[in-house]
Amino acid sequence: MRVAIVHDWLTSMDGSEKVVELIHRIFPEAPIYTLVYNQKAMPEAFKNIDIRTSYLQRFPLVRKKHQWFLQFMPAAVEAFDLREYDLVISSSTCCAKGL
């Protein structure tokens, strides 16, 4: 079974990011789709995970000020093409619910 994990943003290690890390331990082959990823702010465990970001990742300042880009996030999450997956796990407090 092909599994994908989706999370709003990975810009700091807080409670919801800990949940994503635990989900990934259950499905270690699953890529994590996220709108924005700040590798410097995340723990070492995330550095070896297949993390796929949205087009928002290319915006200036987005890694540190992702809140400024909230109005673009629903469209960005809808742009992910997840048709190849049998199971998509959405860990979201915001926009990833739009999958």
Tell me the DSSP string of 13-30: --HHHHHHHHHHHHSTT-
Check residue 15 and give its pLDDT: 77
Q: How far apart are CA 18 and CA 65, in angstroms?
A: 21
Count the domains in the chain: 1
Check residue 71 and give its pLDDT: 64
**pTM assigned to the model:** 0.88
Check residue 45 and give its pLDDT: 87
- Count Cβ atoms within 10 A of the Cβ of residue 32 and give its class: 0-12 exposed, 13-18 middle, 19 or more buried: buried
Rounded CA Rg of the chain: 12
Check residue 5 and give its pLDDT: 96
Domain span at 58: 3-98
Q: What are φ and ψ of residue 32, in 5° steps?
A: -110, 120
Check residue 66 and give its pLDDT: 64
What are the mean pLDDT values of the chain's consecutive 10-residue runs (99 residues total)?
93 85 96 92 91 85 67 79 95 76
For residue 80, give the DSSP letter.
-
